[in-house]
Amino acid sequence: MAKDKISISAWTVILSHVLLSRDARWKTLVVVEDIAFYRSCLNYCDKRFGVCRTLGKLPDFCLLWLIQRLVAYGAPQHFVLRKRAIRAQAMQSVEQGAEQIVVIGAGFDILAFATAQAFSQVRCFELDVPSMCEHKVQVLKDCYGKLPGNFFAAGVDLSLVPMRDALAALPGFSREKATLFIAEGVVMYLTEESVSAMFSDVHAAADSSEVLFTAIAKPPKPKENIWSRIRSLFLGYNKEAFSWCMEAVQMAGFLRERGFGEQYHNGYVELQKDLRTQKELDQLERQNGEYLVYAASV
Ligand SMILES: C[S@@+](CC[C@H](N)C(=O)[O-])C[C@H]1O[C@@H](n2cnc3c(N)ncnc32)[C@H](O)[C@@H]1O
């Protein structure tokens, strides 16, 4: 990613939160406390990036429609629901003794920062490529002033730096502390080799670790229509092409080989099913869908 760029996919995730917070049907899904920060991120991006400024001028319904055309039907709701599910699991892990959390490819996500604020005994780290990390920290400082002493954001490109080196460089990271690693909407952008090394490194990095991450079963079909071309154009803006995917049924085996036991996975449709009409569910079923996985070291 060029030095001054942000991740368009990270921007799309928070844009979806802000759009749904203004939508009569969906606004109760969104965590109210997070929205002020996500709005600040959007304002920050509007001021600096023409692509965000231009798209941000479109009416809400048009943006929601566009996100669904470019990502998948139900994607804005999925982004909100996956964040809620990740937060709930993270809170449970902290209650059960996790003393460190590491958010990998954090984008504009607020979880590490919010956890650091709420739990002074938990050390909270986040990693993202250097340019993205710099922009995010700037918005955090603009919004909250001083950052908590137990929060640390590191700029590191995980396609260039092995995860074990990135973790070793985190100030105060301790392998003796029970650690929750979170990778939301990230592994699909990495190569198979990087993903494999990442899980092995994460397992080796702490005596007791949990992983919470999303994966895609299949990448969208290669350029076959105008929408897939536009999608590639957007992802190509900062070289975020889908790379790694794995069917949900194969995930437990993949994780077992790297020292983790899968506890559960939740699919795209499962996350939304209680909120949808039958007609909508039929449409959701046709998506390739991203799923959320939680596993613990064995
Ligand atoms: C889809 S966004 C998800 C952001 C955030 N996790 C969320 O769900 O709100 C993907 C994030 O992964 C980061 N990322 C992609 N490739 C990366 C790499 N090689 N090293 C570090 N971060 C990377 C991007 O910069 C971006 O912030």
Q: Convert the pLDDT of each residue in 62-110 to its tens digit.
A: 999 999 998 899 999 999 999 999 999 999 999 999 999 999 999 999 9
Ligand 1 center to residue 180 CA distance, Å? 17
pLDDT in tens, 11-68: 999 999 999 999 999 999 999 999 999 999 999 999 999 999 999 999 999 999 999 9
Ligand 1 center to residue 185 CA distance, Å? 7
| Helix (H) or strand (E) segment spanning residue 17 | helix 8-21
Maximum alpha-carbon separation in the chain? 51
Domains of the chain: 8-297 (3.40.50.150)
Token pair for residue 62? 């048009």
- What pTM did the predictor assign? 0.93
**Range list of H helices, 96-191:** 111-118, 130-144, 163-168
Best mutation site among 9, 83, 188 for ligand 1 pocket (most ligand atoms within 8 Å of CB): 9
Ligand 1 center to residue 265 CA distance, Å? 21
Closest CA to 108 of 71, 145, 134: 134
Closest CA to 273 of 295, 289, 262: 289
Closest CA to 292 of 184, 170, 152: 184
